[in-house]
């Protein structure tokens, strides 16, 4: 080995040590050739891939130099500071922290351990004016990656842990081993807190569906593979029903883009037990093909399990709105939505007090239409509009029951100045909040514009985590060579700036049955006005099927003990883990603690 080669090896090792977290996934195809011989033998596969990524980053700086990225981020920070100077934190909240992440965050999930799972793909391009992902790539560079972020560990590199997906052989003609390319999959929670992930990208054909089926176990922090699905799915949707089983619909098939599958599947298949306990790890478990079909013309439909126990499938096309009965295995029609075609935009099951949701609000997806549309009681109504139309947005339910929209763009990878142009209109960076009366108002601006592949979720401490959009993250990377490809921003809602928070000191450790009394302890019990459950979020491509907000009945206060009652039935709140918040008269929430519904 030459002196120059040894020097390069030492540089890679130094980089890995500085990050203190392992890098995941394969290197781009052109770089694999370079490390196939001596380099891989000396460094090992992991460090050789890290070296290859450095070479690819160096190529990206030739067409899109680091100075441009640094200047872009500085300009965004300045415009954010200037725009937000007029917003009072007690009324509008504030964006508080911005820090690097080792993953793009195309998919995110809050786990019942309090950690956040992020997963996406290894980039094949460091120039944000080009396609960065391996959608149309065949072979080992079409690969996935995954990380855990522990908010309790802070915001540095040591707060992240690499949790790579299993190595697989994909049916793409090369059968090259690589970390599973499960990006652009669908996902939801199982009752034991695990995340079921279905589908992915085989590569080529404009994006072709994989039959992959995995669960991520938050307790062991490992992935487990299950039997392949009946069909390939790229951009499918998944929702958890009242029985704890997951319903999987849509997605482009293995034949490629333009071939969405009508096949509906259920996981686990009947005859296989639903995972209820942490040690119930599905591995090698099959899904089951249902009789009813879901012939959505476009992928990633919004799916919701509402309090009648039915699955509502709200397609992007106005005439494809369907009701699925998962017990009888039949599909029926819902009325046509008033709005025309909707691209990727958010939809939310609206809070309904002590019962589960019985209506859905459809928001973004059309930059020309700011109106919101509500499906309730089998009919659509046009609701108050937001300030402007946006696509690629995310709308979250906050602990106090208000809604908050974050992220957005004009169109896919278009922020108002044409496709693959990182320049963005400031308006797409502003959040928008809907109060209890259904009125919207604009709020402060986030640091980065985030459109396609952007995501957000509510943390147990009540803050909102914002991430995603690989184009913007690469275009504004403070150091494109350091392996921290992504970024995370934290927003503090207004309720965190309205005084002291209630205390939630203890909750029951065991599973809770439905319609059952239980107690929690609080040193500020006399100040508590409400207790609410907020389901954790797992989201991608503006599709969030897991959100849910329920009030709990307060049955009495004695000293530091607060009596509460769980939701009436599993259709109101599907079995699984929920964040329990206590709120005072001003709507200020406690830090949440986890409870689990659905004792068996």
What pLDDT, on the 0 to 100 scale, is given for residue 36? 39
Residue 75 phi, psi dihedral angles, 5° rounding: -65, -40
Angle of CA points 340, 346, 461, to nearest 5°: 170
What pLDDT, on the 0 to 100 scale, is given for residue 4? 34
Residue 11 has pLDDT above 50, yes or no: no
Residue 28 has pLDDT above 50, yes or no: no
What pLDDT, on the 0 to 100 scale, is given for residue 31? 32
| CB half-sphere exposure, 35, CA atoms < 13 A | 26
What pLDDT, on the 0 to 100 scale, is given for residue 23? 32
What pLDDT, on the 0 to 100 scale, is given for residue 71? 98
Residue 58 has pLDDT above 70, yes or no: no
**Average pLDDT in the chain:** 91
CB-based contact 224:214 (threshold 8 Å): yes
Specify which residues 334 forms β-bridges with.
none
Cα separation, 351 vs 438, whole angstroms? 12
CB-based contact 171:178 (threshold 8 Å): no
Find the radius of gyration of the CA atoms of the chain. 23
What pLDDT, on the 0 to 100 scale, is given for residue 59? 62
Token code pair at residue 529: 């006005």
- Mean pLDDT for 323-332 is 98
Three-class SS of residue 308?
coil
Alpha helices in 44-114 (DSSP H): 45-63, 66-84, 89-92
Element (H, E) at 495: none
Length of the chain: 600
What pLDDT, on the 0 to 100 scale, is given for residue 55? 55
> How many helices (H) and strands (E) are present in the chain, helices listed first?
7, 37
Question: If 0-12 CB within 10 Å is exposed, 13-18 middle and 19+ buried, where does residue 152 land?
Answer: exposed
Distances from the Cα of 539 to the Cαs of 438, 598, 599, in angstroms? 24, 23, 26
Residue 10 has pLDDT above 90, yes or no: no
- Mean pLDDT for 256-283 is 97
Residue 271 has pLDDT above 70, yes or no: yes
Binned at pLDDT 50, 70 and 90, residue 569 comes out as very high
Cα separation, 407 vs 432, whole angstroms? 10
Binned at pLDDT 50, 70 and 90, residue 169 comes out as very high
pLDDT per residue over 133-156, tens digit each?
A: 999 999 999 999 999 999 999 999
Residue 24 has pLDDT above 80, yes or no: no
| Number of C-beta neighbours around residue 228 at 10 A | 15
- Mean pLDDT for 200-210 is 96
What percentage of the chain exceeds 70 in pLDDT?
90
CB-based contact 599:512 (threshold 8 Å): yes
CB-based contact 510:120 (threshold 8 Å): no
Orientation of helix 3-19 relative to helix 45-63, angle to 10°: 90
- Helix, strand, coil shares, percent, the chain, to 5: 15, 35, 50
Cα separation, 574 vs 552, whole angstroms? 15
What pLDDT, on the 0 to 100 scale, is given for residue 56? 59
Residue 3 has pLDDT above 90, yes or no: no
- Mean pLDDT for 122-126 is 94
Residue 9 has pLDDT above 50, yes or no: no
CB-based contact 493:434 (threshold 8 Å): no
Residue 491 has pLDDT above 90, yes or no: yes
Residue 97 has pLDDT above 90, yes or no: yes
What pLDDT, on the 0 to 100 scale, is given for residue 599? 76
Binned at pLDDT 50, 70 and 90, residue 62 comes out as confident
pLDDT per residue over 212-228, tens digit each?
A: 999 999 999 999 999 99
pLDDT per residue over 347-358, tens digit each?
A: 999 999 999 999
Residue 489 phi, psi dihedral angles, 5° rounding: -125, 140
Residue 18 has pLDDT above 70, yes or no: no
pLDDT per residue over 414-433, tens digit each?
A: 999 999 999 999 999 999 99
């Amino acid at each position: 080995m030459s002196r120059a080669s040894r020097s390069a090896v030492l540089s890679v090792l130094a980089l890995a040590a500085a990050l203190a977290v392992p890098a995941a996934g394969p290197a781009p195809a052109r770089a694999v050739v370079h490390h196939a011989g001596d380099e891989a033998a000396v460094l090992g596969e992991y460090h050789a891939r890290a070296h290859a990524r450095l070479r690819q980053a160096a190529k990206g700086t030739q067409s899109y130099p680091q100075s441009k990225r640094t200047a872009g981020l500085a300009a965004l920070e300045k415009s954010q500071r200037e725009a937000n100077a007029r917003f009072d934190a007690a009324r509008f909240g504030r964006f508080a922290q911005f820090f690097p992440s080792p993953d793009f965050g195309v998919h995110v999930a809050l786990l019942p351990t309090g950690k956040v799972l992020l997963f996406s793909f290894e980039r094949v391009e460091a120039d944000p004016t080009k396609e960065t992902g391996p959608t149309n790539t065949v072979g080992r560079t079409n690969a996935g990656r995954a990380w855990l972020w522990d908010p309790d560990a802070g915001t540095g590199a040591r707060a992240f842990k690499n949790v790579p997906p299993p190595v697989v052989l994909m049916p793409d003609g090369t059968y090259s081993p690589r970390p599973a390319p499960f990006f652009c999959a669908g996902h939801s929670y199982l009752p034991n807190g695990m995340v079921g992930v279905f589908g992915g990208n085989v590569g080529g054909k404009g994006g072709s569906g994989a039959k992959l089926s995995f669960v991520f176990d938050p307790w062991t922090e490992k992935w487990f593979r299950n039997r392949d699905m009946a069909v390939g799915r790229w951009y499918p949707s998944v929702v958890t029903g009242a029985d704890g089983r997951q319903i999987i619909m849509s997605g482009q098939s293995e034949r490629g883009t333009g071939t969405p599958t009508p096949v509906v599947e259920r996981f686990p298949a009947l005859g296989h037990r639903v995972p209820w306990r942490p040690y119930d790890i599905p591995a090698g478990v099959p899904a089951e093909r249902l009789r009813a079909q879901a012939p959505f013309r476009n992928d990633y439909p919004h799916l919701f399990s509402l309090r009648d126990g039915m699955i509502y499938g709200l397609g992007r096309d106005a005439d494809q709105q369907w009701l699925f009965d998962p017990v009888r295995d039949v599909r029926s029609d819902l009325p046509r939505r008033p709005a025309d075609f909707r691209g990727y935009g958010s939809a939310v099951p609206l809070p309904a007090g002590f019962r589960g949701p019985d209506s859905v609000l459809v928001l973004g997806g059309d930059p020309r239409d700011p109106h919101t549309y509500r499906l309730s009681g089998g009919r659509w109504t046009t609701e108050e509009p937001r300030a402007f139309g946006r696509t690629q947005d995310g709308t979250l339910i906050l602990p106090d029951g208000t809604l908050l929209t974050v992220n957005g763009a004009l169109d896919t990878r278009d922020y108002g100045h044409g496709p693959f142009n990182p320049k963005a209109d400031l308006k797409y960076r502003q959040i928008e909040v809907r109060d209890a009366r259904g009125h919207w108002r604009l709020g402060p601006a986030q640091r980065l514009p985030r459109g396609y592949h952007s995501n957000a979720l509510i943390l147990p401490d009540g803050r909102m985590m914002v991430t995603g959009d690989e184009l913007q993250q690469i275009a504004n990377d403070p150091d494109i060579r350091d392996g921290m490809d992504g970024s995370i921003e934290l927003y503090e809602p207004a309720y965190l700036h309205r005084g002291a928070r209630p205390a939630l000191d203890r909750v029951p450790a065991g599973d809770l049955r439905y319609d059952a009394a239980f107690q929690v302890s609080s040193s500020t019990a006399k100040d508590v006005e409400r207790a609410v459950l907020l389901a954790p979020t797992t989201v991608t491509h503006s599709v969030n099927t897991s959100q849910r907000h329920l009030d709990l009945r307060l049955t009495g206060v004695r000293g530091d003990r607060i009596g509460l009652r769980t939701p009436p039935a599993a259709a109101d709140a599907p079995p699984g883990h929920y964040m329990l918040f206590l709120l005072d008269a001003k709507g200020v929430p406690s830090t949440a603690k986890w409870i689990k519904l659905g004792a068996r």
